[in-house]
Structures are given as C-alpha cells and as structure tokens.
Structure 1
Amino acid sequence: MAEKSILALFPSQEQAQRIVPKLQALRVADVSVDHLHNINGTGVSESMNPLVGRFPGLSFLTLGKEGQGIDEGILTAASVDASGMSAPMSEVFTGAYEGTDRMDTLMTVVVDERCYDQALRVINDGGGKL
C-alpha cells in the first residue's frame, strides 16, 4: 500500500478537528492537528542603523529576539512574524490584517494514495488551505 502525505493550514484547531472523523472514515494511516506558535519577542526598544551597527539578525531588528543560535535565527527570520517578505499576506491571513484570523493550525495527514483525492476534497470543503 503506497501512502501520500498532505499538509494543510486552518484558521483554528476546532475547524480542523471537525473534519478528522471524515478523514478517519477514509481510513487514513495518521492524522494530527497542531497549533503553530507565534514567535514571541520583547519588541524593538532601541533605534539603530543596521547598516553601521552590529546586530544578531532580522529577528532582533523586528522582534527584539536575542541569544539565538544560527539555525534558530534563520528559521525565526523566515517566519511571517519577523518578516512580511516570507509569504504574501493573502496566504497567511484569511481576512483582517490584525491577525485575528491567521492560518496557524497545521493538519498533517498520511493517507493511502487511492483515497488521496477524496482526502483533498474533504480538507478543502472543511476550510483547509493546501
């Protein structure tokens, strides 16, 4: 049995959980729903010119995050929380820019390839964004 995986974003865990029974009826091998946490920082409290000053990275300039390793710093800088350049707003927010309806719930599904198209339809009908 060959399997395929699906990653989909939802505005809330509740909305994603509503379609889990439908996916389980398709006999998915695995399904999980996880909340993607925002990257919290202290905020920027000082003015500096990044062209002449030394600073640890983009997440320091935008979020005030300090003390990160190189890997964490790269991932933090790639987040929409640190840089709006990492994804168009229409792909991150479904409506209000304030972030109240942010797509921050990830559904991961492993399904038999014979049921793959049906699973995609269930996710789309349930409000998921592939």
Structure 2
Amino acid sequence: MAKKNFLAGFVSIDDAQAAEQALNEAGFTITQVDQISPYPGEGPQQVMNPLTGNIPSLGYLTLDAEFNSKSAAILAATDVSASGMSDGDGMMPEVNQGVLLTAVVPADQAEQAEQIIKQYGGNI
C-alpha cells in the first residue's frame, strides 16, 4: 500500500499533540511530535547568574544551545533572538515554529490527515 508523509510545523506543542491525538483517533498510528531548534544542544540545565561571568557564550545563555566551537557560538550570538532586542513581535507564525509533527498515512487517506493537521493549526 502506498504511503504519504507529512511534516507539519506548529507554534505550540499543545496544538501539535492535540493534532497527533486526533490523527490517532482517526486511525493514523504512525505519528511523532518533536521540538526542533536551529541550534544544537539543550542549553543550561540549571539556574545561573550571568554576572559571575561563568557562561560559555551568549548563545548558550539566551538560545538554549551548546556549541562545540567558539566560532559557532559567536555566529549564533549575532542572531536577533540572542540579543534581547527583539521579542519576535510581528514575525509570521510560520517562521516561529519550533514543533514538528511527523505522520505517515496511507496515500488514499492523505486528504483526511491533511485536514486534521490544518484544523489544529499545522503548517504543511
């Protein structure tokens, strides 16, 4: 049987999980929700005081990222998200999507799955 893959971006993990639940209830069992980021690592795992100077980089502190080279950390710090001078207000929601819903569905039921994903705010 032919299959169709969907990769749908969501702004909120709650919306993605609700869409996944609706897909599962409709009989689509191959689904997965993940948080994604353009930056590596998980960032700080404990509260820290930046005034002490004990931070690896601005990107580590503000972007929740762990860099394996000083050059990558410096480059990431140039992102407007790292400076605190931009709150993302006015950004298109499609750009600010950090949650990915993946679904593999039978090709003959792809339209139904697509409607469910879009109903919950997914961007395919």
TM range (shorter): 0.5 to 0.7
**What is the aligned partner in structure 2 of residue 128 from structure 1?**
122
* TM-score of the two chains, using structure 2 as the length reference: 0.58
Gaps of 5+ in 2: 44-55, 60-69, 83-90
**What is the aligned partner in structure 1 of residue 46 from structure 2?**
none
Corresponding pairs, count: 90
Gaps of 5+ in 1: 45-55, 65-78, 83-88, 94-102
**What is the aligned partner in structure 1 of residue 3 from structure 2?**
3
Correspondence for 1:113 among 107, 110, 115 = 107
* TM-score of the two chains, using structure 1 as the length reference: 0.56
Question: Equivalents in 2 of 1:118, 1:80: separation in Å?
Answer: 39
CA gap of 1:34–1:63, structure 2 versus 1, over 3 A, is: same
Give the residue type in structure 1 aligned to 2:107: E
Instruction: Look up the SS of the partner of 2:22 in the other structure.
Output: helix
CA gap of 1:110–1:80, structure 2 versus 1, over 3 A, is: farther
**What is the aligned partner in structure 1 of residue 95 from structure 2?**
92
Q: Give CA-to-partner distance per residue, 1:61-120, whole Å, 9 cap, x none.
A: 4325xxxxxxxxxxxxxx9979xxxxxx53313xxxxxxxxx100000000111101111
Identity of aligned residues (%): 29
> Cα RMSD between the aligned structures?
3.0
Q: Is the 8 A contact 2:23 2:29 kept in 1?
A: no
**What is the aligned partner in structure 1 of residue 50 from structure 2?**
none
Question: Equivalents in 1 of 2:102, 2:31: separation in Å?
Answer: 6
